[in-house]
Amino acid sequence: MQPHGPIDVSILIVSYNTREMTLAALESVYAETRKAPFEVIVVDNASSDGSAAAIAAHPGKPKLIALDHNIGFGRGNNLAGEHATGEYLLLLNPDTVVKDRAIDRLVSFAHHNPHAQIWGGRTLFANGRLNPSSCWRRMTLWTLLCRATGLTTIARRSAIFNSESYGGWQRDTVREVDIVSGCFFLITRSLWQRLGGFDPLFFMYGEEADLCLRAKRLGARPVLAPQATIIHYGGASETKRASKMVKLLAAKASIVQRHFHRHARHLGLTLLAAWPLSRVVALKIAALVTRNERVSKSAQEWAEIWRRRGEWRQGWRSETGGGVASSGYGAEPSGT
């Protein structure tokens, strides 16, 4: 509902060349949010597809901040957050569709579970299948080893070998988690301000992991609420897999550097680098044996990622994502 008094939740959307999806996301927000008083703040990262003009013309009258250059997902949300007045901030990707009053449900859940301080919901693909990227367990040496050896891919449903993705859990129960995805991410404005928002080092990917891990040190206990469900298409603003993975790996390297014990960092970075290398070797062998075109293409993509390791092995190297091409942002890909 449109606010006539204090605002309960400020909905922050950062868009980049996703005009039609952003408009669809806005339509779903206004149609499905009927109880919690809200405001919508959209930062457009210098889109070239007419996004800013279309958002400005939307009948819901969201607050638009149109930029002349792309500052990335994390800094875009920080900018939007500076203009927010709600008790809660809801980060919502532009490639999402709110279903069944999901925002009302998530805000209500937060009211009844204030100890968490960070809350997320359940995400689905467009076909209704579970999109498991709504939450994650923190990286460890074990999870990196499982990725490097392929165990994560082989045993996707295993809570042991795919523990980072909470393998086997359908996101259908209330559960405390380590990391809530930035695509549908509710946080108290007071905690957001205390943390200083997202660390601007992260141009894209990894910013919510870094924030959640910092928040947990301050006593936050992020929780997933399955009754709040959205559709999340994922990666709409960047379609080339190799470029996505370069950014994802840079983000993961930065997480290792910042959140692993100092004695584990070197091994963690070595295992992280072993992940794409092992994919190159395994997929090239599989392509030779099967002569499968899809497998061959995947091998080529991973070979490109490995060739570009100079861009990601040291993590993000400046506040503007130095060393890694900065063309867009989206949801964390599966990486398999």
pLDDT number for residue 323? 42
Quick: pLDDT tens for 17-26: 999 999 999 9
Helices (H), 174-240: 189-195, 207-217
pLDDT of the residue at 234: 77
Dig out the tokens for 165 from the structure.
């993705």
203 pLDDT band, cuts 50/70/90, is confident
Give the model's pLDDT for residue 335. Answer: 34
Nearest by Cα to 232 from 93, 45, 120: 93
pLDDT digits (tens, 9 = 90+) for 205-230: 999 999 999 999 999 999 999 999 99
pLDDT band at 334 (very low <50, low <70, confident <90, very high): very low
Please tell me whether the overall predicted TM-score, pTM, comes out greater than 0.85 for this model.
yes
How does residue 204 score in pLDDT terms, banded at 50, 70 and 90?
A: confident
Q: Which residue has the tokens 């991973």?
A: 302
For the chain, what percent of residues have pLDDT higher than 70? Answer: 92
- Give 35-70 pLDDT, tens digit per residue: 999 999 999 999 999 999 999 999 999 999 999 999
pLDDT of the residue at 235: 60
Domain range summary for the chain, segments of one domain joined by +: 9-143+164-232
Predicted confidence at residue 294, as pLDDT, reads 95
- 67-112: per-residue pLDDT in tens? 999 999 999 999 999 999 999 999 999 999 999 999 999 999 999 9
pLDDT at 327 over 50: no
Output the pLDDT for position 236. 55
CATH T-level assignment (fold) for domain 9-143+164-232? Spore Coat Polysaccharide Biosynthesis Protein SpsA; Chain A (3.90.550)
Q: How far apart are CA 115 and CA 112, in angstroms?
A: 9
Q: Which amino acid is at 230?
A: I
Q: Which residue bears the tokens 């559960």?
A: 175
Check pLDDT > 60 for residue 125: yes
Residue 227 phi, psi dihedral angles, 5° rounding = -75, -10
Return mean pLDDT, the chain.
92
